Amino acid sequence: MDPLTFKIEPGSTIDLREYDPRYNPGIEREQAETGLAQLALEIDELQELLFGAARHSLLVIMQGMDTSGKDGTVRKVFSQISPLGSYVHGFGVPTPEELSHDFLWRVHKVAPAKGKIGIFNRSHYEDVLVVRVHNLVPPEVWGERYAMINNFEHLLAANNTIILKFFLHISKEEQEERLLKREEETEKAWKLSSGDWRERTYWDEYMAAYEDVLTKCSTSHAPWHLVPADRKWYRNYAVAHVVADTLRGYRDQWMEKLRVMGAEAKADLAAFRQEKGG
């Protein structure tokens, strides 16, 4: 099967106009919905192995413009996993305390420990996105951050963190439709914010900032996946595919570790019984 997302090769220069937010290699909606249900179950099984083996952690980073579906994707793709072994952390406007530290301080603290899945709804990438678009720090400061981010992610990866980064790519037209829909639907109106319309006026600046992120920060140990996201069912299926495919690659080594741990636990129990009986 053709890949559903575009994995950004390190060293490639990204022009977002070359990526269609409605790209689809021929997947029908029904097939995507059935597939997503199966993949969500598989991700649950793999999460249990990840948790038990406690050798790796998984860090999932979700980025995208307002309404691109960061929350919705997380809800669908991770719908089956245990809250015991996973968490979602949202990154908002930094607090005064956070601002008085380096920009990665608040991020490193919530990076997932071994055995855990940590999902970031927005992330340290905001420090080269919103911060750049609104000149919150001078260009010399944000300009240095790409290399700092790559080094930070390298550190996490070297400590057995599996890193997956998703950019949910929607069109400006689709965003307008989604924002207007929020106004119409009572149960979605709470999400309305004039800030979303204001940020929209900086669309081109955001696209340029995202192009730099994708160009400079896709590495072999922490690749970016560009997800065509104008269709929600396609987006969910595509992200679930990448997550399941990635974790599946570790299945055998986690199973092996669990087998060894199981054998040790049994031997320990047998020794205890013998001692008690003797």
Two tokens at 31?
A: 């097939």
In SS3 terms, 156-179 reads as: HHHCCEEEEEEEEECCHHHHHHHH
How many residues contact ligand ADP, by CB under 6 A?
12
Provide the minimum distance between the beta carbon of 67 and ligand ADP in the complex, in angstroms, as a whole number. Answer: 9
Please report whether residue 230 would count as binding ligand ADP according to CB under 6 A: no
Choice between 41 and 130, CB closer to ligand ADP: 130
- Return the number of other C-beta atoms located less than 10 Å from residue 145's C-beta: 22
Pair type for strands 224-228 and 6-7: antiparallel
Choice between 35 and 64, CB closer to ligand ADP: 64
Please report whether residue 96 would count as binding ligand ADP according to CB under 6 A: no
Choice between 79 and 121, CB closer to ligand ADP: 121
CA distance 3 to 77: 17
CA distance 46 to 252: 11
Provide the minimum distance between the beta carbon of 201 and ligand ADP in the complex, in angstroms, as a whole number. Answer: 14
**Interaction residues for ligand ADP, span 109-128 (CB under 6 A):** 121-122, 126-127
Please report whether residue 93 would count as binding ligand ADP according to CB under 6 A: yes
Please report whether residue 182 would count as binding ligand ADP according to CB under 6 A: no
| Cα dist from 15 to 35, 95, 189, whole Å | 30, 33, 34
Choice between 138 and 278, CB closer to ligand ADP: 138
**Interaction residues for ligand ADP, span 51-80 (CB under 6 A):** 66
**Interaction residues for ligand ADP, span 128-147 (CB under 6 A):** 130-131
Choice between 90 and 262, CB closer to ligand ADP: 90
CA distance 23 to 12: 20
Choice between 10 and 94, CB closer to ligand ADP: 94
Half-sphere exposure of 117 (CA within 13 A, CB side): 28
CA distance 6 to 20: 11
Given the rule CB under 6 A, which residues bind ligand ADP? 66, 90-94, 121-122, 126-127, 130-131
